[in-house]
Structure formats: C-alpha cells, structure tokens
Amino acid sequence: MYKLGTTDMKKDSTEPLHFVLLEDDPNDAELIQLQLARNDLDITWRHVMSESDFRAALAGTPPDLVLADYTLPGFDGLAALRIVLERSADIPFIFVSGSLGEERAIEALKSGATDYVLKDRLQRLPMVVNRALSETRVRRERRLAQTALEEQRVLLSTLIDSLPEIIYAVDTENRVTVVNRALLETLNKKREEVIGRLLSELWTEENVVDMEGQAATTMRTGRPLTDQERAWIGLDGSVRWFTITHVPLRDHGTVSGLVCTVQEVTQRKELEQEILEISNREQRRLGSDLHDGLGQELTGLSLLMKGLEMQMARESPQYSAQVTKITDLLARAIQSTRSLARGLAPVNLERGGLPEALKHLVARCTDMYSMETTFTMGGQKLPDLEEGAATHLYRIAQEASTNAARYARATSINIDLRSTGRKLQLSISDNGIGLSAGLAQGRPGMGLKIMEYRARMLGGSISFDEPGAGTRITLTAPLHLLRQSKDKKRLAASG
C-alpha cells in the first residue's frame, strides 16, 4: 500500500490538514478516514451528509481537500463540486464513490473534479490525495510567483516611466520589447504603436541607425557600451548631445536582447564647452598681449640697441662685444615671446587656421627634437573650422607629437589632415617603440585621457593603433560640429 508522508500533505508542519467529507453512509465515511489514518496523517475531519451542512463546512477557512460521494439523498456530488468551484478553484475535489462509471467519471473530471476513487479500491486513496495536494501546492506556488512577477513588472514599469532618461529594451532582432514614457513622448506615439517595431522605423534621426548598428555589435560581442556620446543636429541646425548605454540581457548566458538608455546632456556639454572657451579666450588674450605688448616693446628695444651698437662701434669699440651680446639676448627673448604667444593661441583663423598652425607645429618639432616631421593634407577642401574646435584638433596633434618624440623614441612623425564626406580625420603616425611599450614604462597616461576627452568634446572618436612599428593615433569627427557658423563668420568679418 502507498504510504503518504506528512511532509507531502501538510501546508505547515505545525497545523493539521483540514478535510471535508461529504458521505451519507457512516460506515463508508469511517473506512475512508481509517484508510488515511493508517498513514500517520494529522487530519481534522468535518463529516457532513446534507447540502446545508456542506455549505457550513466550507464557510470560514477553506478546507485543504474535499472528498465526496457522487450520489446522495436530495443532493449529489456534481452540485457539491459546483459549490466548491464557486468558492475557490484551488480546493482539490475528489469523488469517492461506489457507483461511478466511466462515463460519469469523465463528466466529473470535465466539470472540474481533481480525481476519483472507487470505494472498492480505497487503497488508491492516499496516492490520489497526495497527488491532488501536491498539484494544488504547485499551482499555488506558481500563482504566487506569477503575482510577485507581476508586482515586480508593475514596479519596474512605474520606475522607468518616472525617469527623465529614454529607456527601452530590444530583442536580438533590434525590435522594441519595452519602452518608457520619455521615449513615447519623444516619438509622440502610443505604446502599442512602438512595441515590436524597429526603432529606426519610428525615429528618423540619422544617429538612430548608427545606434542600431552599435546595438548589433553589443549583442554580437556581449560587451556593454556605456556613456557613448552622440551629437544630434536638429532641422533648425541646433545641436543636442546625448549619452547612450547598451547593456546586454542574458538568458542562461546567451544574449537575448539589450536594455538601452539615452540621456540628454546638452546643458552639461554646453557648460563644459563654455568653460573651455573661457580658458581659450584667456589664452588668446594672453598670447595677444605677449605678441602685441611685450613683443612689440622688446622689438622696439632691439631697434634701439641696434642703433646703440652702431654708435658704440664708432665711438667706444671696446664696448661693442657686450652690446652685441645684449642685442643677441634681446633677439632670443623676442623669439621666445613669439613662441610663447603662438603656444597660447596656436590657431589663428585669419592667418591660415588649423593647417597653418599644424605646419608651425611640424617646424617646431623638427627644430626642437631634430627629427623628421611632415604634414600632409588630403581629401576634399577643408571648410572653415570653429576656432575652439580647431584648437582641440591642434592640441591633440601637439600631445601626440610630444609623446612620440619624448617617450616613444620616434625618429619620424607624420601629421595628416583630411576631410572626406561628412567626416574630418586627423592622423598622427610615428615610428617609435609603440604605445604599449610606452605605457608599460609608465609613460604618458594623462595625455591619452586628455586626447580622448577632446575627441568627445568634438563629438568624435579617437583610436590608438600599433600597425607594426610605431603608433598611429586617428581622430574622426563629424564636420557639421566643427564648422564655423555663419553668425561667427559675419562677426569675424565685421570685427
């Protein structure tokens, strides 16, 4: 005989099971109770024979299980089953009958009964009861889990809807599966119009196509993309900055989609650019003061010394050597002042702009480091660049050249500037020991971070490659973020 364990039967080890038995024959009722009692079950029984008593037994705390005869005087098991189902579909209902044929048994199961046992086979009862309680427990646990999941879903949905950032999730085909209110408001669409669609079908911005390409790369590699900055140009020419994050969703280790966030950082970028512009303006002012102030005064003094040198040569030749030394010192001071002024304001839009500044950089590197340094230009004609952007590009080339000369032991450097399509590319190549070797020696670290920061300020990206011998640093940036605006051109022309 099947032995029913108490751990299978009880909801709680400290509480007995509560069974309701609907049976008009006291002898059969006793046999049923004895059959389950032999298995050391802790059960409290409520034996009833009529409909009114049956309804009363169901009142209050729901029973753990109902056992019922199929045929009773003035009442029947199917009616009792309907009463139980009206109260709760979770209460197991087992028919225990001696007159239940196959046809009635099928009808009972279709009506919602859990199982049935014939009275001449009561030895099956413990097994049937155990299975019924186990299935009920599983259904209850599943329902509780589903309720908890639904509560978590509502909580998560409420949370992401309340955030100002754009948040959405996509599947492996880049189709939207989750979307928050911020994106719906941006798209001016309803949730059902967005779910299941490609973002590029709903959002016509050029950057969205690029975002989908990055999302595909993230899903392929499984590596998250964090705080990737992008500049979007509006139809009115306005620039808005966003940071984009793609984090893979995994199902048993396999990437099943992405969670994506898009946060607008336009105000922060404008503040950063304004701070840098203030710094650049101060540097240009100091450079102008050095060039037009101290430089001019030193030049005037040099002219006076030239005259004095000629006079001393005629009248007191014994002092000519000292005067000549003073004149040479003044010439070197003038040259140092000009170099310092050019370093503070390296890019002058009125005197050749970025290309001319890079030519001066090449000449300076050649003189200072006694190495072969060249500058090349290619691609389309370079448009007029905004002075701040041109200064960023110059500083990147300057930092890369300095690193190559001082730390990479390079003997040649080439600076290449070209515009292709809608992109500007600045490349600095050297034949030194390579970036990895320089970093391994604890050599330049902060310079790389500054170059990366300047690239982000330009809305571009920078790569550090080692193609065999040496290092190649390449910056790529969108031209529309670097061009000088028409308003600034008019202001420069009027100034």
User: Each residue of 333-360: pLDDT tens digit?
Assistant: 776 666 665 656 677 777 788 888 899 8
SS3 of the chain: helix, strand, coil, percent, to 5: 55, 25, 25
Residue 19, pLDDT > 90, answer yes
| pLDDT (tens digit per residue) in 292-312 | 677 677 777 777 777 777 887
Orientation of helix 295-315 relative to helix 320-344, angle to 10°: 170
Per-domain residue ranges of the chain: 17-145, 163-264, 266-346, 351-494
Q: What is the mean pLDDT of residues 161-182?
A: 90
What is the pLDDT averaged over residues 416-441?
83
pLDDT at 29: 92
- Assess if CATH 3.40.50.2300 describes domain 17-145: yes
Checking if the pLDDT of 223 tops 90, the result is no
**Superfamily in which the 163-264 domain is placed by CATH:** PAS domain (3.30.450.20)
Contacts of 247 (CB under 8 A, 6+ apart): 224, 226, 258, 259, 260
What is the pLDDT, as a whole number, of residue 492?
A: 43
pLDDT of residue 30: 92
- pLDDT value of residue 402: 86
Which CATH fold would you assign to the domain 351-494?
A: Heat Shock Protein 90 (3.30.565)
DSSP 143: H
Q: How far apart are CA 71 and CA 73, in angstroms?
A: 7
What's the mean per-residue pLDDT of the chain? 81
Longest dimension (CA), the chain: 150
Overall average pLDDT of the 450-461 stretch: 84
Residue-level pLDDT at 264: 83
User: Considering only 27-31, 65-69, 100-104, 383-387, which range has the smallest mean pLDDT?
Assistant: 100-104
Higher pLDDT, 9 or 82: 82
Measured in degrees and rounded to the nearest 5, phi and psi for residue 378 equal: -150, -175
Rounded CA gap, 275 and 258, in Å? Answer: 36
**β-pairing, 43-48 with 17-22?**
parallel
Q: Work out the pLDDT band at 205, boundaries 50, 70, 90.
A: low
Q: Is the pLDDT of residue 1 over 50?
A: no
pLDDT at 150: 92
Burial 366-390 (b: 16+ CB within 10 A, else e): eeebebebebeeeeeebebbbbbbb
Element spanning 65, H or E: strand 65-68
- Residue 54 predicted with pLDDT over 90: yes
Whether the predicted pLDDT of 489 surpasses 60: no
Percent of the chain past pLDDT 90, that is, above it, reads: 23
Tell me the pLDDT band of 446, cut-offs 50, 70 and 90: low
Terminal CA-CA length for the chain: 106
pLDDT of residue 53: 92
Q: Is the pLDDT of residue 462 over 70?
A: yes
User: Which pLDDT tens digit goes with each residue over 254-266?
Assistant: 889 999 888 888 8
